A and B are shown apart, each in its own frame.
Chain A
Amino acid sequence: MQVTSPVRAPLVTSGKKLHDVTNDICKQVEGKPTKLWIVAFTISVLLLLYGCFCLYKTWTVGLGVWGLNRTIGWAWDITNFVWWVGIGHAGTLISAVLLLFRQKWRTSINRAAEAMTIFAVFCAGSFILMHVGRTWLAHWCLPLPNTYGSLWVNFNSPLIWDVFAISTYLSVSILFWYVGMIPDLATIRERATGISRTVYGALSFNWSGGAKDWQRYEQVSLILAGVSTPLVLSVHTIVSMDFATSVIPGWHTTIFPPYFVAGAIFSGFAMVLTLMLVTRKVFKLEDYVTVNHIESMNKIITLTGSIVGVAYITEFFIAWYSGVEYESYCFINRATGPYWWAYASMMTCNVISPQLFWFRKIRRNIAATFVISIIVNIGMWFERFVIIVSSLHRDYLPSSWTMFYPTMYDIGDYIFSFGLFFTCFFLFAKYLPVINMAEVKSILKSSSVNNNKS
């Protein structure tokens, strides 16, 4: 089924054999936690604990602990929400779309990318719950039967579309990730003894490794990939509609759906790179996540970064071309008003920095990739901040114009999401197989260095 050319560089290096793959990946799960892991995990948990304190204050005292005001009703909360959802998109793209396109290089990175998706959606979800004034009633956003004369949700509201989009996304992503992990969990079970054998046995749903098991597994994977693929486009399209369907200049923009989707993939790939570059180093997985993988991802970053850049310019053109007073002011204010620094950061990080990847040396350089991947994510955070805050702070009536100043709780609740994300990610990295062993083995024959000996 898979056509390979001897001209292509191998995807797995150092002549790994099937058994080496199992050893290299299971080693992390079976061994004692490394010192580095313990340090990193402790920091994550501390961040999470501090974040929990800030979150506790936010929920018990009120949203007034944030810097929001009567003019700017969303700021860091929704910026963080959109940012995290966007980051999640890369996981789905890598596992679903690249699977359908038979991109074999995805096998080494899809597991970690999917895990990242799920944890990022957790973080995004926590901001949905946080930004609500009465979180204890957030379930009213679900169309549940009730005693209020059966009062339904407002299906006109983009926030309701969000609820459906994000919850679908989370459930499909978890399913996809978990189903893909079952054969690997069985591999770990086979090597384990005692209590961990029982635990991994239960987690692997008694996977037998028989032909029928594999056949069903392949079918389910393909179906889930088919279900996930439209989600790559739909989730961020719907998130963008929170803004696009409104009347606020700077939000009311029809190019938002494709622009947001491109931005999501852009930031998601950057995050996958940040995480994978660290993971491959710490867990010594350089033979599985090779420079070729990094280069492929950098190419996607350059493409999506350029799409985003074109979108920024298009917005300006339309603001001028429309002749709408409020629209043109909004964009002039964005670039030259009190938030010019946020706009300048966004432009530098998102449009200029990924263009460096046109140089082969830079896109194959691990240190440079790492730095740019972080810059891209800073830029994408600023993009959402610029869209949300710079549009709201000066809208129609100048009498209400004001500024947003973050407080320690705005920052603390953002830290909470980092704590949550990294705690989850480190637990995953230690106790679950970070690379899809079964799928890597499937490409070993065609894409390894000693492809005839394995």
Chain B
Amino acid sequence: MEFGVTKIASLKANGVSIDIPVLVQPGQAPDTVGIAIGYGREKVGKAGNNVGVNAYPLLSVAKGIVNYSVTSNVDVKSSEIEYKLAMTQTHQTIMGRDIVQESNLKEYKKNPAAGRHFPTVATADGAVGATTLSMWEMRERNNHSWGMVIDLNSCIGCGACVISCQAENNIPVVGKDEISRSRDMYWIRIDRYYTSDMSHEVAEKENVNLVDMYHQMEDPSENPQVVFQPMMCQHCNNAPCETVCPVVATTHSSEGLNQMTYNRCIGTKYCANNCPYKVRRFNWFRYTENEAFDFHMNSDLGKMVLNPDVTVRARGVMEKCSMCVQRIQEGKLNAKKNNRRPIDGEIVTACAQACPTDAIVFGDMNNGESEIFKLLEREHKKRMYYVLEELNVRPSVSYLSKIRNTEA
């Protein structure tokens, strides 16, 4: 069955019945139903009118207080009516890959690099670190070197970074239909992975063959752990996207940014295909002045929310995280006007600014006084790692491993 396609169920409680699509969520306790309230509004304007189903009629009011917990006389009946839920992520598990590296407090106390994976490649002289070999010479970075560190321990998966990035960078709203076609335009996304009962270790112990192992890895556990991982352009220093563009529309800046030249882009999509992180976004349609996308960019009033410092992209071009290059440029100019170097914390990306837990730290990795410099110095060979380090793409974005406060 196509992923996201589900059935409409009729849910009866409190003497009222509503029809609502069902999503079986890993980790949801048996015999329970969870519904988000606040949907199905009618007088809120085009953003909210008739979106979803209003669940309030199911609730009862006692002594002026809404009782959100309904425990008796609940009846769920599945119908045969199919319904397609729009989801940005349609695969649930991490498939035994070292993308999110994690450990627990007990192990971490013994070894700050607990749970870390150090990829190696085989050479004639034995195994060496995956990033020690290169066909390319690294460019010198004498001025700034912008980078980002994301602490997976702090990320709570709230999505504030996603929305602030969308607002800052004029990212088009594409609507439900496009999301269900896997065409979200977010420059930063929150990847969410459930744990699975199957792993390489379990397969080895129980003699499960590769095919069955991978198939079972797709199923989340009955009661899974969850990890969140903010993912955006990693601004690779050996960027796979840059070499394949036929018209040099995506290049590397002397400050470590992987930059898109929108007006040079002809839209071959080769860069997006060759991106191991799948963070590049293509303008499938003209999202402005288009009746089919009647969101904020289709009216004069709506367009007032656009950021004048950021180009609105045309149909047929590729876009992606720029590390808020407009803010970097503004910060550098302000510093220059005052005849000084930019101060750490003066330039901050939209995602880092919005993060309520400070999980995202942005800054100049060449500045010895910066928070990011100190953080990287402290966590080097400990919690700090690069996603897909074995590819030797040398990202400017690094992650800090997740340490769970558990004993085992």
Contacts and interface: CB of A to CB of B under 8 A. Distances in A.
Contacts of B273: 73-74, 246, 248, 392
A246 B94 contact: no
A70 interface: yes
A274 to B, nearest CB: 31
Contacts of A71: 182, 278
Interface string B202-218: 00000000110011000
Given A62-B285, A396-B388, A246 B183 contact: no
B268 A131 contact: yes
Nearest to B392: A247
Contact of B89 (A62, A64, A72, A399): A399
B266 A154 contact: no
A131 B266 CA distance: 10
A14 to B, nearest CB: 53
Contacts of A290: none
Interface in B40-63: none
B193 A398 contact: yes
Given A62-B284, A248-B273, A333-B214, A157 B245 contact: yes
**Which of A69, A131, A156, A158: most chain B Cβ within 10 A?**
A69
A141 B284 contact: no
Main secondary structure of the interface of A (DSSP, over half): loop
Interface string B266-282: 11111011101110111
B141 interface: no
Contacts of B314: 134
B268 A133 contact: yes
Contacts of A442: none
B210 A332 contact: yes
Contacts, number: 177
Nearest to A326: B97
Contact of A67 (B181, B244, B272): B181
A434 to B, nearest CB: 37
16 contacts: A62-B284, A62-B285, A69-B181, A70-B184, A71-B182, A72-B182, A133-B267, A133-B268, A133-B282, A141-B266, A154-B245, A246-B244, A248-B273, A396-B97, A399-B189, A399-B231
A62 B91 contact: no
A332 B99 CA distance: 20
Contacts of B94: 398
Interface in A29-73: 61-64, 67-73
Contact of B246 (A153, A325, A328, A394): A153
Q: How large is the interface on A (under 10, 10 to 19, 20 to 34, 35 or more residues)?
A: 35 or more
Given A242-B270, A247-B240, A403-B2, 4 more contacts: A133-B318, A332-B210, A399-B193, A405-B2
B315 A62 contact: yes
Given A133-B265, A392-B273, A401 B248 contact: no
Contacts of B189: 399
A3 interface: no
B375 interface: no
A15 to B, nearest CB: 56
Given A325-B97, A336-B211, A133 B316 contact: yes
A151 B264 contact: yes
Closest 4 CB pairs of A and B: A133-B267, A133-B316, A64-B284, A73-B269
A337 to B, nearest CB: 8
Contact of B183 (A61, A64, A158, A333): A64
B266 A138 contact: yes
A137 B181 CA distance: 27
A7 interface: no
Contact of B3 (A140, A333, A336, A403): A403
